[in-house]
Amino acid sequence: MQTPHVVTDDAPALQTDEATASRIHFDIFTLFPQMFSGPFDESIIQRARANGLISWALHNIRDYTTDRHHVCDDTPYGGGGGMIMKPQPIFRAIETVLSRPAGWVLPAEAAYVSLPPWEAEAPPSLPPAVPVILLSPQGRLLNQQIVLELSQYRRLALICGRYEGVDERVASRLATDELSIGDYVLSGGELAAMVLVDALTRLVPGALGHCLAAHQDSHSPGLGGLLEGPHYTRPLTFRQETAPEILLSGHHAQVHQWRREQALARTLVRRPDLLESAALSATDLAFLRRLGWEPKA
């Protein structure tokens, strides 16, 4: 008879040192951890992790079930279509992980059978400085300001819902925030979690090649909340369209003014709602008025 593996606080932590050193650590709770292997293994996210700027740990919620068939969903009370994610595995996974240092993961051999002790009716005290974010179409609509706020945290927990949704007690008793990436419905929160990780990674100093790249993105403080204007590169002329002459003039002040005006004009055409809350100078207002825009009273 095999001796059961007992998990303690000294159990193997696959990424503890990496998580401690990183600027932001993500604990991601999902039923489909393999979905993250492609997007997280490429480009900016992969380089940021390789350089020790971010870290993450993927936690399979199903590993925290104790029934014979490892069930994570059930039919909704009151009837209706779809299945609902059960609260117990989610609560147990998050409370177990967040009660331990960043980077701790459940050893594979301990899944289902040798879980750390947990009392359903005696919740542990979780660290207050770790937001627990439920990715949901009913959450606050994610924008750059929210990304900036979240970038100040050293550790974040992301819950990826599935099926028809999660038991409401996850939202009301466990999650500290609920975020949506748009007014549409996805099959689960995994893609939304990837979007949030990517947006946050871009703000970590050193993650991008240019130190001001993120600061000058659309919606970012460097543009006062505006959309970026157009960009051009070689060749000078392509399909009978030539890059604006001002960009080749070498006159930095004029180039800066042109880019600002292009950002204002593009925002007016594509997202005029952003102008109401944008940081606009007197020169900006004069330019917009020439285009026929007036701020609302």
Residues acting as catalytic residues? 137, 164, 202, 217
Residue (of 89, 87, 33, 86) closest to 61 by Cα position: 89
Strands (E), 86-218: 132-141, 155-160, 165-166, 177-180
**What residues pair up with 188 in beta bridges, in sequence order?**
162
Rounded Cα–Cα distance for residues 199 and 243 (Å): 30
Q: Is 189 helix (H, G, I), strand (E, B) or coil?
A: coil
Q: Is 283 helix (H, G, I), strand (E, B) or coil?
A: helix
8 A C-beta contact, residue 175 and residue 133:
yes
Reported as type and span, the H/E element at residue 73 is strand 73-74
Peptide bond into 235 cis (omega under 30): yes
Report residue 192 as tokens. Answer: 């939304």
Strand order in the sheet with 73-74: 73-74, 84-85, 165-166
Rounded Cα–Cα distance for residues 294 and 273 (Å): 12
